[in-house]
Amino acid sequence: MRRAGLLVWGAHQVAKSMVRPGITTGEIDVAVERFFEANGAIPLFKGVPGKIPFPAVCCMSVNDEVVHGIPGRRVLLDGDVVSIDTGCKIGGWCGDSAVTYPVGVISPEVGRLLDCTSGVLDLAIQLMGSRSRWSDVASEMAKYVRDHGFSVVENFVGHGIGRKMHEDPQVPNFCTPAFRRNHDFELEPGLVIAVEPMVNMGSKKVRPLPDHWTQSTVDGKPSAHFEHTVAITDSGPRILTAAPGVGETLDAPVKAEKVTPL
Ligand code: MG
Ligand code: MG
């Protein structure tokens, strides 16, 4: 699974190098698709069934869009934030990761939202090494976000991942008595989950847009999304979608492609 995770990390480096005011989300998506292709990886998002099959290799959700935004002709502007989520499969195994990128200069308040969301992901991964059940991690995640004055999205959750992108268990970023009673799970070696907090500046509530995919905040305030694929090993949590370590390389280089604007 590390091979898939490393390629997802590489895809994010391609995307990150292209994010700037004036580029379209569609241009970035094409470059990520070419990167996966050059590395012999199968993109996981394209064709996901829905009212219309998902048409791109990344979800790109801008500002008040929370998740599942469709890349296309939208031009990124100075001060925007764009959440890019992508996944691939190679050798039969999957990786999945999301990052919210600032476009140009963002406001300090939106910067705090991004820091809080990546911070709560880091916290969760760290706690996976010391807590025995997910409910204990999820409760602390919700508290961390609340203490920052933001809200955790409850309509979408993380997931198990392996041969398929979406496997059991469901991995919420908050905890309810019903979850503790009926759906809690042990954090034991061999478990691999995609941990993916979505944090809103205002209301936790989301609504679907007419394109059948994009989920937006109900109050129009911004949202952020960070995700890693994380394995629990005998020596603790290991981030499978992290940057290469010593001796690890990608088959094809990470490079920003010159692509024709859509
Ligand atoms: Mg994802
Ligand atoms: Mg995911």
What spacing in Å lies between the alpha carbon of 8 and ligand 1's midpoint? 10
Cβ-contact 93, 3 below 8 angstroms = yes
Counting ligands in written order, the one closest to the CA of 97 is 1
Which among 93, 90, 86, 121 has a CA at the least distance from the CA of 8?
A: 86
Residue 22 — left, alpha, or beta (φ > 0 → left; ψ -120 to 50 → alpha)?
A: left
What residues pair up with 192 in beta bridges, in sequence order? 231
SS3 label, residue 186? strand
Counting ligands in written order, the one closest to the CA of 58 is 1
Residue 30 lies in a domain: yes
State the DSSP H helix or E strand holding residue 36, giving kind and residue range, or none if neither.
Answer: helix 25-38
Counting ligands in written order, the one closest to the CA of 167 is 2
What spacing in Å lies between the alpha carbon of 43 and ligand 1's midpoint? 12
Residue 166 lies in a domain: yes
Residues around ligand 2, an ion, CB closer than 5 A: 96, 194
Predicted local confidence at residue 254, as pLDDT: 61
What spacing in Å lies between the alpha carbon of 78 and ligand 1's midpoint? 25
Cβ-contact 122, 239 below 8 angstroms = no
What spacing in Å lies between the alpha carbon of 165 and ligand 1's midpoint? 9
Residue 250 lies in a domain: no
What spacing in Å lies between the alpha carbon of 83 and ligand 2's midpoint? 13
Residue 198 lies in a domain: yes
Predicted local confidence at residue 249, as pLDDT: 80
Residue 139 lies in a domain: yes
Rounded CA-CA distance 43/24 in Å is: 20
Residue 19 lies in a domain: yes
Residues 6+ apart with CB under 8 A from 243: 9
Residue 163's CATH number: 3.90.230.10
> What parts of the chain have a pLDDT lower than 50?
261-262
- Determine the Cα angle at 136 with ends 135 and 137, to 5°: 90
Residue 16 lies in a domain: yes
Rounded CA-CA distance 174/115 in Å is: 18
| The model's pTM | 0.95
What does DSSP say about strands 58-62 and 42-43: parallel, antiparallel, or unpaired? unpaired
The structural domain count of the chain equals: 1
Domain residues for 30? 2-239
Rounded CA-CA distance 119/126 in Å is: 11
Counting ligands in written order, the one closest to the CA of 45 is 1
Residue 36 lies in a domain: yes
What spacing in Å lies between the alpha carbon of 2 and ligand 1's midpoint? 16
- Token pair of 85 as six digits: 């989520």
pLDDT tens, residue by residue, 107-145: 999 999 999 999 999 999 999 999 999 999 999 999 999
Check residue 227 and report its DSSP letter: B
